[in-house]
Amino acid sequence: MIELKKLTKVFDPGGVKAIDEVNLTVPEGTVCGVIGSSGAGKSTLIRCVNLLERPTSGQVWVAGHDLTTLGEKDLRQARRNIGMIFQHFNLLASRTVYENVALPLELAGASRQELDQAVQPLLELTGLADKNDSYPAQLSGGQKQRVAIARALASKPQVLLCDEATSALDPQTTRAILSLLGDINRRLKITILMITHEMEVVKSICDRVAIMSHGKIIEENAVEQFFLNPRTELAKEFVRSATHEKPVAEIEARFQAEPLAGARPVVHLTFVGQGVVQPLITRAARQFNTDFNILQADIETVNEKAMGFLMVEIMGEPGAIEQSLQFLRGASEAGSTVQVEVIGYVS
Ligand SMILES: Nc1ncnc2c1ncn2[C@@H]1O[C@H](COP(=O)(O)OP(=O)(O)O)[C@@H](O)[C@H]1O
Ligand SMILES: [Mg+2]
């Protein structure tokens, strides 16, 4: 549905390459998250998707058209197929909720009756049915974002772009807005591209995730695979920040990177689904007569599936420890739902 090809944006003067030959495909009906640190180029990227920002080079395909080749009139038409919401909502203060949502249709010349027919269901969908006549100043942050979502959906777009849509909201409101966006994705089959620096967003509604750094996409994957097997250092950092694993000071103090004589391996197990890893550990312990000391454990919901993050120390005879490790490693072949990594040693 969205396909970016060798997309590049250089800001003059100064020649800052905000986007550097980015290729990204977002299939129809999916939710794709783009994460990255501040200044990575995320906002510029998403603004290039509806040509709010004109790319310096490359192509922007949305619903079968390369937007960079369209003239003024065709581009206006194509943009009606792309809704957008922002961190700070961008509502018009002098207009009521109804009038804000109606605005895109009014601009497109809709009649009063057409407005009513389109706006009322959107207010219901976004939980604002009783706020018709309220002004933005009378609404909470979450309600304002609901108005912005309703307005973005007014022209019945196939694509919704979200730039840090929940970054100004508290955690509870964030969850409610994410759940609304997930609902919209499923019910209206809208393709969503979400820019965010929050892993909460990625965990809760994204199917795929891409990481941006210095204008480039350095890693891209299905969200479970991303959590299971992050490849770049930045991806690993994001995954760690999304789980509630914290280095325990007592363990950290005796942690060593190299296996000195008599040291026991500390193994990090990541897995999708419940009941995946417990049998493995039990079997390894029985078969090789080793003990597993659980140092940390966390279960997170990622894309509606349970994912576990477990840190264990393997104790026993050196040969038995090695066999247990081999056994666990054998379970974590490519494409498997378990990943096993020795992250250090303790003695
Ligand atoms: N209009 C602009 N003019 C010049 N430089 C810009 C402009 N917009 C963004 N940049 C630069 O492009 C880079 C990426 O910015 P941005 O896309 O806002 O990053 P992010 O959204 O990931 O924080 C930054 O170095 C920023 O300073
Ligand atoms: Mg930004």
Which ligand has its closest atom nearest to the C-alpha of 44? 1
What pLDDT score was predicted for residue 19?
97
Residues of the chain with pLDDT under 70: 245-248, 334-335
What pLDDT score was predicted for residue 12?
85
Q: How many CB atoms lie within 10 A of CB 115?
A: 18
Q: Which fold has domain 243-346?
A: Alpha-Beta Plaits (3.30.70)
pLDDT in tens, 26-37: 999 999 999 999
HSE-up (13 A, CA, CB side) for residue 246: 4
Query: Which ligand 1 atom is nearest residue 36's CA?
Result: 22
Contacts of residue 344, Cβ cutoff 8 Å, sequence gap at least 6: 255, 256, 257, 265, 266
Selection from 217, 224, 167 nearest residue 197 by Cα: 167
Give, for 125, the enclosing helix (H) or strand (E): helix 112-125
The residue contributing the CA closest to ligand 1 atom 24 is 39
Residue found by looking up tokens 């909720």 in the block: 97
What pLDDT score was predicted for residue 335?
60
Ordered alpha helix ranges (H), 193-277 = 199-205, 223-228, 233-242, 249-253
Tokens of 49: 């998707």
What pLDDT score was predicted for residue 334?
58
Give, for 58, the enclosing helix (H) or strand (E): strand 57-62
Give me the sign of the Cα torsion angle 124, 128, 129, 132. Answer: negative
What pLDDT score was predicted for residue 261?
80
Give, for 18, the enclosing helix (H) or strand (E): strand 16-26
Tokens of 41: 């180029």
Angle subtended at Cα 178 by Cα 177 and Cα 183, rounded to the nearest 5 degrees: 95
Cross-strand partners of 255: 346
Residue 9 Cβ < 6 Å to ligand 1: no
Cross-strand partners of 18: none
Tell me the residue length of the chain.
347
Query: How far is C-alpha 30 from the chain's CA centre?
Result: 12
Which ligand has its closest atom nearest to the C-alpha of 167? 2
Listed by start position, the domains of the chain span 2-241, 243-346
Structural contact between residues 73 and 110, judged by C-beta atoms closer than 8 angstroms: no
Superfamily of domain 2-241: P-loop containing nucleotide triphosphate hydrolases (3.40.50.300)
Selection from 162, 161, 208, 207 nearest residue 186 by Cα: 207
pTM: 0.90
Residue 18 Cβ < 6 Å to ligand 1: yes
What pLDDT score was predicted for residue 16?
87
What pLDDT score was predicted for residue 256?
84
Give, for 184, the enclosing helix (H) or strand (E): helix 171-188
What pLDDT score was predicted for residue 297?
87
